[in-house]
Structure 1
Amino acid sequence: MITIQEVTKRTGITVRTMRYYDQIDLLPPAGKTEGGHRLYGEKEIKTLQEIQFLKTLGFSLQEIKEMLSEEGHNWFVGLKKQLGYISKEKKRLEEIEHTLNGLLNEMVFKGNIDIANIQKLIQLNQNNLDKREVFLSQTFDEKEMTLLDQLPNLNSADPDTLEWIALMAQLKKHMPKGAASLEIQRIVKRMHEKEKEMFGDNEEFAEKVWEIRKSPQKSESAGFYPIDSETLEFIEEAYEMYLNKEQQTLNG
């Protein structure tokens, strides 16, 4: 038998915690000294280790108490239930992570946060996944559906998405200079290069995406981040200038 202080030295559990476990009848001591000091045996030490292990798995003290007190407790069911809880919590945290990425990228893209747009995207992702899949599957073939995964996602922090956001932010910054300006044409050139890197010569796919992008209704159905019509028209104008210049260069 060892004292509560010795338990603390062996396990790192504080005296206060040990007293609390006794108070809630989670881990009563094996006995007490004549002076009233708590004493613990190997059985209690083992139970304490079980308590700490179950805590790391996310079980509450009340749940642990019930698990340890029940004779023939079905550990499989208990652990499976906790795994289900952890899976749900993981999904919830991932959704929060995506939303935070979206807010940060929104600030880079527009210089501020449009909560309405973010909420709209969250609602689309949560409530209209089935409709979105139907719309996309009706618009794109099987090969093109795989290319969709490469499109920039505002709620992602992957390098390609971050570069697209940075390019869009620079484009909006220099829009007052006009579509033919050196700054805009450099940005459009890089956008075109990135399209080639991601989709190769699949111009039909790129055209489908752009047609959807230009339609607010179709963009919403596809779950695309909303971009105002003025910016889209400006991009189209700048692209046309860039591609015409490229064609003239090729023709000599």
Structure 2
Amino acid sequence: MLTIKEVTKQTGITVRTMRYYDQIDLLPPAGKTEGGHRLYGEKELKKLQEIQFLKSLGFTLEEIKEMLADTEHDWFTGLKKQLGYVRNEKKRIIEMEKTIQGLLNEVMLNGKIDLPSVQKLIQLYQQNADKKEVYREEMFDDNDQELLDMLPNMNSGDPDTLEWIALLGRLKKEMSKGPSSPEIQRIVKRMLEKEQETYGNETDFGEKVWEIRKSPEKSERAGFYPIEPEVTEFLEVAFHIFMENEKGQEEEK
């Protein structure tokens, strides 16, 4: 027989937890010493292991108590139910992760968080998920669907998305210098390079995305992160200047 302190030393479970298990009749001790100290035998230690294992699977103490007390407990149904719960929790945590990443990206892009706007944006995307898919299917053919998955996602932390966010953030900071400034033209050059790296020669796809991007209404319907109209207008002018400069340099060769 082991005393409660010896059990806690072996298992790492606190004395308070062991006392609580006894209090709720989940794991009563095998007996007590003359001084009133709880004693635990091999049977109790085995049950303690079972309790800790079921806890690790997400079962509540009340559920564990019922499961271990009923020798004819329907383990299949119980585990199936718990699996459903865990899967739902997994989805919730993934969505939470995406939201937090989106907030971090919002700070990178704008230097601050506008919580009401972000909350409204998240709710809007969640509510219109099905409509977004329908609209995308209308606007893009089957060959484009694969490319759509490669678009930057505001709620993602992948390197490509983070670079796009950094480029757009820099662009916003430098806009006051004008679309033809060296700083803006360097940003535009990198954006075009990234577009080429990602989509290759699929220029039609890039043009479709840009046409949608220029319209706040279409961007919302497609589920794209909203970019202010003044920014897209500025970018279009900057792109045009860059292409004209490139054309002029080619003619000079």
For the aligned pair, the TM-score class normalised by the smaller chain equals: over 0.9
What is the rounded CA distance, in whole Å, between the counterparts of 2:108 and 2:15 in structure 1? 50
1:74-106 CA distance string (max 9 Å, x none): 122222222211211121111111111111111
1:56 is matched with 56
Runs in 1 of length 4+ with deviation above 3 angstroms?
Answer: none
Question: How far 1:205 sits from its partner (Å)?
Answer: 0.4
Q: AA paired with 1:183?
A: E
Q: Percent identity?
A: 65
Aligned-partner SS, 1:25: coil
Match of 1:155, SS? coil
Name the structure 2 match of 1:187: 187
Return the letter of the residue paired with 1:240: H
Aligned residues: 252
Q: Which runs of 5+ in 1 are unaligned?
A: none
Amino acid of the structure 1 residue aligned with 2:227: I
Question: 1:39-90 CA distances to partner (integer Å, 9 max, x unpaired)?
Answer: 2221111100001111111212111111111221112222222221121112
Q: Give the drift of 1:117.
A: 3.5
User: Distance in 1 between the 2:120 and 2:203 partners?
Assistant: 30
Quick check: 1:243 aligned with 2:243? Answer: yes
Letter aligned with residue 32 of structure 2: K
Matched residues in 2 for 1:189 and 1:28: separation?
Answer: 72
Q: Are residue 229 (structure 1) and residue 223 (structure 2) matched? A: no
Find the counterpart in structure 2 of residue 11 from structure 1. Answer: 11
- Matched with 1:80 is 80
The residue number in structure 2 matching 1:158 is 158
Cα displacement (A) at 1:3? 2.5
Q: Retained in 2: the 8 A contact 1:117–1:226?
A: no
Q: Letter of the 1:218 partner, please give it.
A: K
Instruction: Give 1:216 deviation, angstroms.
Output: 1.2
In 2, distance between residues paired with 1:116 and 1:245? Answer: 42
TM-score in terms of structure 1 length: 0.95
Q: Which residue of 1 aligns with 2:121?
A: 121
**Normalising to structure 2: TM-score of the pair?**
0.95
Change (3 A) 1:78 1:143: same
Aligned partner letter, 2:62: Q
- Partner secondary structure for residue 39 of structure 1: strand
Letter in 2 for 1:31: G
Distance 2:43 2:64 in 1: 16
For 1:97, the equivalent position in structure 2 comes to 97
Shift of 1:185: 0.4
